Chain A
Amino acid sequence: QKEVEQDPGPLSVPEGAIVSLNCTYSNSAFQYFMWYRQYSRKGPELLMYTYSSGNKEDGRFTAQVDKSSKYISLFIRDSQPSDSATYLCAMSAATDSWGKLQFGAGTQVVVTP
Chain B
Amino acid sequence: DTEVTQTPKHLVMGMTNKKSLKCEQHMGHRAMYWYKQKAKKPPELMFVYSYEKLSINESVPSRFSPECPNSSLLNLHLHALQPEDSALYLCASSQVQGSRGNTIYFGEGSWLTVV
Contact = CB atoms under 8 A, between A and B. Distances in A.
Interface residues of A, number: 24
B106 A105 contact: no
A94 B100 contact: yes
Interface stretch (B61-69, B74-82, B107-115): B107-115
A98 B106 contact: no
Given A97-B56, A98-B97, A43 B104 contact: no
Contacts of B94: 98-99
A49 B109 contact: no
B31 interface: yes
Interface in A35-71: 36, 41-46, 49, 51
A103 B56 CA distance: 18
Interface in B24-74: 31, 33, 40-43, 45, 48, 55-56
B86 to A, nearest CB: 13
Contact of A98 (B31, B90, B111): B31
Given A8-B40, A43-B108, 16 more contacts: A34-B104, A41-B109, A42-B108, A43-B4, A43-B88, A43-B109, A45-B2, A51-B101, A88-B42, A97-B55, A97-B98, A98-B98, A99-B56, A100-B45, A101-B43, A103-B43
Interface of B: 2, 4, 6, 31, 33, 40-43, 45, 48, 55-56, 88, 90, 92, 94, 96-109, 111
B103 A34 contact: yes
A104 B92 CA distance: 18
Contact of B42 (A32, A34, A104): A104
Contacts of B104: 34, 46, 98-99, 101
- A contacts with B: majority SS: loop
Interface in A6-52: 8, 32, 34, 36, 41-46, 49, 51
Contacts of A101: 43, 45, 104
A49 B43 CA distance: 18
Given A44-B43, A106-B42, A98 B105 contact: no
17 contacts: A8-B40, A42-B108, A42-B109, A43-B6, A44-B90, A44-B106, A46-B105, A46-B106, A51-B101, A97-B56, A98-B31, A98-B96, A98-B102, A99-B31, A99-B45, A101-B43, A105-B42
